[in-house]
Chain A
Amino acid sequence: MSWANSWGLNAVDLARAQFAFTMSFHIVFPAFSIGLASYLAVLEARWLLTKREVFLNLFNYWLKIFSVAFGMGVVSGIVMSYQFGTNWSVFADKTGPVIGPLMAYEVLTAFFLEAGFLGVMLFGLERVGPRLHFFATLMVAIGTLISAFWILSANSWMQTPAGYAVNADGQFVAADWLKVIFNPSFPYRLVHMVLAAYLTTALVVGAVGAFHLLRGQHLAGPRVMSSMAMWMATLVAPIQILAGDQHGLNTLEHQPVKIMAMEGHYQSHPDGAPLILFGLPDQREGKVKYALEIPRMGSLILKHSPDAPMAGLDTVPRENWPPVPVTFWSFRIMVGMGLLMFGLGLFSLWCRWRGTLFQSRLLHLFAIAMGPAGFIAVLAGWITTETGRQPFTVYGLLRTAEAASPLAAPAVGSSLIAFVIVYFAVFAAGVIYLLRLMAQPPHPGEAGPPSSIPARAAGITPAVEGIAP
């Protein structure tokens, strides 16, 4: 099997391709289920408070979608947890003592919590009654957020390592756990990602609501979900833009080279840097061709002063350059999506004020088109931050090329091909099933997930009556 070598691909390139591929598939599902779990908790809370049937219907409707998406997140996540060892064993050996415990805490505090209460959340309403059931839903929602906390802490440590020492075996070890966990970029990344997950879910919910409103169905469900989703876009999109700006300033402080790549600043600008809107970064020549730029705007945004000097990649040794074209473009895609979300939020607010929130065809079409925007923005954002960290796995300390397993290219290449085939087959089917569920409007008396119904234990009466439609 020399095909891999004959294409000039080495084991490290293939391992990186495998991580990028499996991670990109994986992140889509948690990004959706973090937001959806919280949305379900809100729907159930509103049902418990108001007793209005529409909230229970919407809860059951989205619960079925949640169960499919969550299952795909679980199985693609198990792959991630083993990949550190299979393809990145040197990384695992060197960083295990520091980020291993963070991931162990994620399993202990989050995964078990989600998994333990998921069964009751999906199938247990009749068995445990509404209050305990709401508690289970809440635990699942909190579990998804705790999970985000730990895994983003681990990821942020790789971006902005802190609180560590290096031992005789060349391993990173913790010197101060609080500094490890709350490393400099962590709070910003956590806020940015959780808001992204909420927006992603809101845009999906909004698109589904708009789709059913557009088909002229004056059902209560689509109205409620549309209205809730558009409030989220109106309120959260501007907050997210602020959070992203703060995250960027934090990156400028701790990972200036990543900002140079995001901005396309190959050259230093001693009298104020331009904001390059678009252009073609040429890594070999070290410049952005056909650049469309606003003079001094870059310094104004990043340093809050138009004349502030900004260093470029010409101050960084070439072997430490991240791949600028990918970082540059993925960043622009993310920002573009964010601005469109902001636009959707404003437009919906205007329609709401005019009383046409449920009638405006234009708004519905806009909302439907924006359905996948959250996923695109999340993927683009992750590509920006992960590519911008290159050529390091642990920023400035451990090179990616030196972190991989001692495996031959054919081994990594074969597993990559296997994952590509399996993921496209399995997750394509899953997405089709999700879209099929979303294509149905929520009905009055909507049933929950179907597989349940373990028979009731003898002598136990269901705690509540009249819950099941």
Chain B
Amino acid sequence: MSAVIDLATLWAFIIAFAVFVYVVMDGFDLGLGILFPLFPAKADRDVIMNSVAPVWDGNETWLVLGGGGMMAAFPLAYSVLMPALYTPIIAMLIGLIFRGVAFEFRWRTQGERNHWDLAFAGGSWLAALAQGIALGAILQGVHVEGRHYAGGWWDWLTSFSILTGVSLAIGYALLGATWLVLKTEGVLRDKAYHLCWYLLFAMLAAIATVSIATPFLHIQYAQRWFTWPNVILTAPVPIAVAIITALLLRALANRQDSQPFTLTLSLFALSYAGLGISMYPYIVPQSITIWQAASPENSQLFMLVGVTILIPLILGYTAWAYWVFRGKVRGGYH
């Protein structure tokens, strides 16, 4: 029995890892779409697009791994959460369609380029908000009966889920701005630095608001964070956020191009760890634990073999692709 428990926990970490990689990698390219309206010049937009054109598809694949992996490793959770998050998921998919095709389509037309720029920005906004709303809807819990979702199709819509939706969009925008600091130069980089200041304070406000609101959702969240001895585990999280913030402020002030992006990734990692602390061991909060949702041992083992061999390989060639296209991006020709 203990072997089964270990396997389910391991898989919870694998899925969480896939979702985290998705959030930070697609996060910065969705962030670029969110910031797109602030860069109306065609030359700037070309550079912004070029900075992610070679890698966006790989970034998005982690979302498919998160979804597909969840169906395989935790089918019960997948089958409960997807209908519960019906509208945000559909909205996210539609946002990703508009945004994804815009990468190619905007180069294929003169007259309609503005349409596809709008599709890129609008699709990114829609996907980011929908993902944040889905996160909030999961945290606040869903109505489960037996092995099925038993709520309505608007249950996800609360002030809390709207808060998490906006928060995630702000976070993605900061990732996008710090990515531009890393990958561009000149006036475009100056503008990105400028945006980073505003977005950083907005993101800190968002982290604070969500952190304060979450314990009020369920007494279990409050107990998890504020009771002894849990505090030993949970207290370092806000302390680390404060340290990273100080480093990030210094990097922005000193204009060290390579640092803001990685420091923002660290902020995301800490927020994500905070979510994990709140949710564990539930995969559908307060209803279904990872052990209840887990696939049979032989399904999880069968995939574990592949994951163990393939994830390092994937990370390797993905890193290579980023390495090939390293350095500052300059204006495209067209």
Chain A residues within CB distance 8 Å of chain B: 67-68, 70-72, 74-79, 81-82, 84-86, 89-90, 92-98, 100-101, 103-109, 111-120, 122-124, 127-128, 167, 169, 171, 173-174, 177, 405-408, 410-411, 415, 418-419, 422, 426, 429-430, 433, 436-437, 449-458
What per-residue 1/0 map shows which CB atoms of B290-334 lie under 8 Å from chain A? Answer: 000001101100110011001100100110110011111111111
Whether B75 contacts A171 by the Cβ 8 Å rule is yes
Whether B57 contacts A118 by the Cβ 8 Å rule is yes
Which residues of A have CB within 8 Å of B67?
Answer: 81-82, 85
Whether B82 contacts A85 by the Cβ 8 Å rule is yes
A93 CB to closest chain B CB (Å) equals 4
Whether B324 contacts A124 by the Cβ 8 Å rule is yes
B101 CB to closest chain A CB (Å) equals 6
Which residues of A have CB within 8 Å of B327?
Answer: 454-458
Partner of B108, one of A74, A426, A436: A436
Whether B79 contacts A89 by the Cβ 8 Å rule is yes
B95 CB to closest chain A CB (Å) equals 10
Whether A85 contacts B78 by the Cβ 8 Å rule is yes
Whether B314 contacts A85 by the Cβ 8 Å rule is no
Whether B82 contacts A82 by the Cβ 8 Å rule is yes
Closest to B99 in A: A75
Whether A124 contacts B54 by the Cβ 8 Å rule is yes
Given A92-B75, A108-B65, A119-B321, is A430 in contact with B314 using a C-beta cutoff of 8 Å? Answer: no
Chain B residues within CB distance 8 Å of chain A: 46, 49-51, 53-55, 57-58, 60-61, 63-65, 67-69, 71-73, 75-76, 78-83, 86-87, 89-90, 93-94, 96-98, 100-101, 103-105, 107-109, 112, 119, 147-150, 152-153, 183, 295-296, 298-299, 302-303, 306-307, 310-311, 314, 317-318, 320-321, 324-334
* Distance A116 CA – B162 CA, assembled complex (angstroms): 34
Which residues of A have CB within 8 Å of B153?
Answer: 407-408, 410-411
Whether B68 contacts A81 by the Cβ 8 Å rule is yes
B214 CB to closest chain A CB (Å) equals 25
Which of B67, B71, B89, B101 has the most A CB atoms < 10 Å from its CB? B71
Whether B103 contacts A451 by the Cβ 8 Å rule is yes
Whether B79 contacts A107 by the Cβ 8 Å rule is no
Whether B299 contacts A98 by the Cβ 8 Å rule is yes
Which residues of B have CB within 8 Å of A167?
Answer: 296
Which residues of A have CB within 8 Å of B328?
Answer: 454-455
Closest to B327 in A: A457
Whether A85 contacts B109 by the Cβ 8 Å rule is no
Given A78-B63, A112-B61, A454-B51, is A96 in contact with B94 using a C-beta cutoff of 8 Å? Answer: no
13 residue pairs of the A-B complex, CB under 8 angstroms, read A78-B64, A81-B68, A85-B83, A94-B75, A100-B68, A119-B321, A119-B324, A426-B119, A450-B333, A451-B107, A453-B330, A453-B333, A458-B327
> 10 shortest A-B CB distances, which residue pairs?
A96-B75, A85-B82, A100-B72, A119-B54, A457-B327, A93-B79, A89-B79, A115-B58, A75-B100, A433-B108
B272 CB to closest chain A CB (Å) equals 21
Which residues of A have CB within 8 Å of B298?
Answer: 173-174, 177
B53 CB to closest chain A CB (Å) equals 5
Whether A453 contacts B332 by the Cβ 8 Å rule is yes
* Distance A112 CA – B55 CA, assembled complex (angstroms): 11
Whether B57 contacts A82 by the Cβ 8 Å rule is no
Which of B87, B150, B311 has the most A CB atoms < 10 Å from its CB? B87
Which residues of B have CB within 8 Å of A411?
Answer: 86-87, 153
* Distance A453 CA – B79 CA, assembled complex (angstroms): 43
Which of B54, B63, B103, B334 has the most A CB atoms < 10 Å from its CB? B54
Given A98-B299, A453-B330, is A89 in contact with B60 using a C-beta cutoff of 8 Å? Answer: no
Which residues of B have CB within 8 Å of A93?
Answer: 75-76, 78-79, 147
Which residues of B have CB within 8 Å of A449?
Answer: 107
B36 CB to closest chain A CB (Å) equals 15
Closest to A406 in B: B148
B7 CB to closest chain A CB (Å) equals 13
Whether A119 contacts B58 by the Cβ 8 Å rule is yes
B180 CB to closest chain A CB (Å) equals 13
Given A452-B54, A452-B332, is A96 in contact with B72 using a C-beta cutoff of 8 Å? Answer: yes
Partner of A105, one of B51, B303, B318: B303
Chain A interface mostly: helix
Which residues of A have CB within 8 Å of B296?
Answer: 97, 167, 171, 173-174
Whether B318 contacts A107 by the Cβ 8 Å rule is no
B151 CB to closest chain A CB (Å) equals 10
Whether B318 contacts A430 by the Cβ 8 Å rule is no
Whether B108 contacts A173 by the Cβ 8 Å rule is no
* Distance A272 CA – B317 CA, assembled complex (angstroms): 58
Partner of B71, one of A76, A96, A418, A437: A96
Given A108-B307, A452-B332, is A89 in contact with B82 using a C-beta cutoff of 8 Å? Answer: yes
Partner of A86, one of B58, B65, B82, B310: B82
* Distance A453 CA – B333 CA, assembled complex (angstroms): 8
Closest to A104 in B: B72
Given A86-B90, A422-B97, is A92 in contact with B104 using a C-beta cutoff of 8 Å? Answer: no
Partner of A107, one of B49, B61, B82, B93: B61
Given contacts A109-B310, A118-B58, 16 further A-B contacts (CB under 8 A): A81-B67, A86-B86, A93-B75, A96-B72, A108-B310, A112-B65, A115-B60, A119-B57, A124-B54, A174-B298, A405-B149, A408-B153, A411-B86, A415-B90, A430-B101, A451-B49
* Distance A452 CA – B65 CA, assembled complex (angstroms): 27
Which residues of A have CB within 8 Å of B331?
Answer: 453
* Distance A408 CA – B303 CA, assembled complex (angstroms): 34
Closest to A89 in B: B79
Closest to A175 in B: B298
Whether A92 contacts B79 by the Cβ 8 Å rule is yes
Which residues of A have CB within 8 Å of B148?
Answer: 89-90, 406
A401 CB to closest chain B CB (Å) equals 15
Partner of A116, one of B307, B317, B330: B317
Whether B71 contacts A103 by the Cβ 8 Å rule is yes
Given A167-B296, A174-B299, A429-B112, is A120 in contact with B324 using a C-beta cutoff of 8 Å? Answer: yes
Which residues of B have CB within 8 Å of A410?
Answer: 153
Partner of B311, one of A75, A108, A123, A128: A108
* Distance A422 CA – B303 CA, assembled complex (angstroms): 35
Partner of B93, one of A79, A98, A406, A455: A79
Closest to A410 in B: B153
B118 CB to closest chain A CB (Å) equals 12
Which of A89, A92, A405, A408 has the most B CB atoms < 10 Å from its CB? A89
Given A92-B82, A104-B65, A454-B54, is A97 in contact with B90 using a C-beta cutoff of 8 Å? Answer: no
Which residues of B have CB within 8 Å of A426?
Answer: 97-98, 101, 119
Which residues of A have CB within 8 Å of B94?
Answer: 418-419, 422
